[in-house]
Amino acid sequence: MKRIIFLIIVLSFFMFSCSSKSSEESGSIVISLGGEVSTIDPHLNTASAGTVYIRHFFEGLMKKDKDGNLVGGVAENYKMSEDGLTYTFYLRTNAKWSDGKPVTAEDFVYSYRRFIDPKTAAPYASLMAPIKNALKIFRGEMSPEELGIKKIDDYTIEITLENPTAYFLELADMFLPVRKDIIEEYGDTWVGSPESYIGNGPYKMIERIRDDKIVMEINTNYYDKDKLVAKQITVSMMADKNTALAALKNGQVHFSTLVPAQEIDNLKSEDLIVINQAYGTTFFEINLTNKAFTDSRVRRALALAIDRNYIVDSINKSGQLPAGAFVPPLISDYEGEFREKGGDYISVKSDDYQKNIEEAKRLMAEAGYPNGENYPVIEVLVANDGNVVMVEAIQQMWKNIGVDSVIVPREWSVILQSFRDLSYQMVLSGWTGDYNDPMTMLELYLSYAPSNPGYNNPQYDKLIESSKLIVDPKERMKVLHDAEAILMYDMPIIPIHYRSNALMVSKQLKDYKLDPLGKYRFHYSYLGK
């Protein structure tokens, strides 16, 4: 009996060892980016996590290579006209969907039209604005068939723009194709199972259990499959940060965006934290139609009263930088970085905070509220999973200029409805850009932008619109700096800090790819010692 038990133990150990070894050798990794997302339709998704999943299943005309450089994706090469208005893309003849069907020009024509079609109600359809007639189609003034994209032949596409657009190739990486026959057959349910979720990217779905997991493996029909390392990637749908931490420590998860704030110092000491700077800014969104905020001097005073260094150093502690403007670092200028050339509109030097307070008091007095007298108590909405502790600290800072506030936690869906109704005063918000250009931030506050909470400055609109007509990159960036200066004087938003993402990463996980857009990639990842 003892011999039998011994043999069973040895056999079990051997099987476990083989299983563990084959898991590592297969490149199978597990990531956790939060709970279930509402959709993984490339045209309807709004979640950062959803973007990560989708980018493994689909590929646009352009893509990012292993080093993060923009290179040809489904388009093997392209040609731009001298006036910068027409792009001709030549598709790879060996690009295929995960079910083996060829990817053709018609797929892109259909997909671009679907994205801009008001019937689709794509949340980010306005990103297509540079393409000819896109905004008119978006507003229902033209049909999607009039979009500036046409098929030359099965493997050639011509795209015509409204104006020269310096960042159009970045958009060509973002606009992803979907299959017309699949969507017509399955409708909205096409994203729900491996049988119908047909993509053209490096990976294909092999299992999908809502609120549990998505499992993907290499798409053997992908033209560049031989360069992929991770053979299988599992997305674990967990929403609790402490659960994610426990899973990372016991080896069930290798990468997670769910970092418990109270554990950051401990995780740093264990070398399990990676800080990823983002093209993003966290800020207070202000309802400019509310009487409490109609005077720009009040808005500037509230901005000056925030000690941003205290926020990033003592509260968040996740690599954020104090924000003295709206466009964040890393975004490019014609040379170098836009933020470096533009400087700060609010001093974020620690020694200047008291000066900021004095200036804030002066502005409040000018606006008719000396020491905050007669100024109403303001209400700040914060998402239930948002940074309430940070807002509580700012609440105390505003007391330095005599302003009182109350914090109201709400579900994000309720906050979004408040945005639509303009039934709020102020909300903790933020934006992470979609591409590497200042316009990814600045166009949010065009008077007609869907995301605009009531800001309307014709001079700002004029500068942003005129920048679209400028081909010379140096002159174009000068105009965008002038526009940001107007935005920061009017202060329709109050910048707090530039975004960064604290990530929990197992020491086993190698060669994962980060970028400032939060589009993490695991194509080349593997598990090591």
Domains of the chain and CATH, by start: 28-58+189-272+506-529 (3.40.190.10), 62-177 (3.90.76.10), 277-501 (3.10.105.10)
How many whole angstroms separate alpha carbon 75 and alpha carbon 87? 11
Helical axes 353-366 vs 296-304, angle rounded to 10°: 160
Q: What is the pLDDT of residues 235-261, one digit of tens each?
A: 999 989 999 999 999 999 999 999 998
How many whole angstroms separate alpha carbon 81 and alpha carbon 86? 5
Q: What is the pLDDT of residues 297-351, one digit of tens each?
A: 999 999 999 999 999 999 988 889 999 999 999 999 999 999 999 999 999 999 9
Give 237: exposed, middle or buried? Use CB within 10 Å, 0-12, 13-18, 19+.
Answer: middle
C-alpha dihedral over 455, 457, 460, 461, to 10 degrees? Answer: 90
Q: What is the pLDDT of residues 387-433, one digit of tens each?
A: 899 999 999 999 999 999 999 998 877 888 888 888 999 999 988 88
Do 157 and 109 contact (CB within 8 A), yes or no? yes
What separation, in Å, do the N-terminal and C-terminal C-alpha atoms of the chain show? Answer: 38
Residues 6+ apart with CB under 8 A from 27: 229, 230, 231, 232, 525, 526, 527
pLDDT given at position 523? 97
Residues 6+ apart with CB under 8 A from 471: 84, 164
How many whole angstroms separate alpha carbon 30 and alpha carbon 507? 13
Length of the chain in residues, anyone? 529
| Residue with tokens 């409708």, as numbered in its chain | 187
Q: What is the DSSP letter of 346?
A: S
pLDDT given at position 168? 96
How many whole angstroms separate alpha carbon 432 and alpha carbon 498? 9
The structure tokens listed for 478 are 């000068």
Do 82 and 68 contact (CB within 8 A), yes or no? no
| Residue with tokens 């107007």, as numbered in its chain | 486
Amino acid letter, 499: R
Q: What is the pLDDT of residues 187-214, one digit of tens each?
A: 999 999 999 999 999 999 999 999 999 9
Residue 9 has pLDDT above 80, yes or no: no
Q: What is the pLDDT of residues 156-179, one digit of tens each?
A: 999 999 999 989 999 999 999 999
Coil vs helix vs strand at 520? coil
Q: Across all residues in the chain, what is the average pLDDT?
A: 92
| Bridge partners (DSSP) listed for residue 503 | 274
Residue 24 has pLDDT above 70, yes or no: no
How many whole angstroms separate alpha carbon 417 and alpha carbon 412? 9
Give 392: exposed, middle or buried? Use CB within 10 Å, 0-12, 13-18, 19+.
Answer: middle
Q: What is the pTM of this model?
A: 0.82
Residues 6+ apart with CB under 8 A from 297: 363, 364, 366, 367
How many whole angstroms separate alpha carbon 112 and alpha carbon 147? 8
How many whole angstroms separate alpha carbon 443 and alpha carbon 460? 10
Do 171 and 435 contact (CB within 8 A), yes or no? yes
pLDDT given at position 26? 45
How many whole angstroms separate alpha carbon 212 and alpha carbon 227? 29
